[in-house]
Amino acid sequence: MPNDFTYQAVRNRNLIVYEGGFKRTFVHVRDMARSFIFALERWNEVKDDVYNVGHESMNFTKEDVARKILEHVDYYLHFAEVGTDADQRNYEVSYEKIRRKGFETTVDLDRGVAELVRAAKLIEFQNPFANV
């Protein structure tokens, strides 16, 4: 969702958010990659178990994400009062189990959005047909 929202904000300069109060959880790809290495280095401790990878500080509403993007991109943001999102997921996740093993994430939403904005602008700059 942050990827899509950010791209729409950069490319279209607007975003319509349905059901902005719905919560989701996010993790940066670098933190996911680090979690694989973490597990491989501690294989005997973690094998035969299941872990959520992330941090509770990365549980956000859709509105939170859209407003975070506003800190990086000037765009029109509208929260629709009518209509629904086809994706009805609404949840928070605990990451206490993996933290007890010693894993912590390092990339927060602000840093992730900043990276997405730079990438989206680069894509737009390199695509001569982007605004056609």
Name all domains of the chain by residue range, CATH numbers in brackets.
2-124 (3.40.50.720)
* Residues 6 or more apart in contact with residue 110 via CB below 8 angstroms: 68, 71
pLDDT for res 127: 59
User: What rounded mean pLDDT belongs to the chain?
Assistant: 92
pLDDT at residue 102 greater than cutoff 90: yes
pTM of the model: 0.85
pLDDT for res 12: 94
pLDDT at residue 128 greater than cutoff 60: no
Mean per-residue pLDDT, 24-39: 97
> At 50, is the pLDDT very low, low, confident or very high (cuts 50, 70, 90)?
very high
Beta strand extents in 19-132 (DSSP E only): 23-25, 59-61, 76-80
Q: How far is CA 51 from CA 38, 76, 90, in A?
A: 12, 38, 20
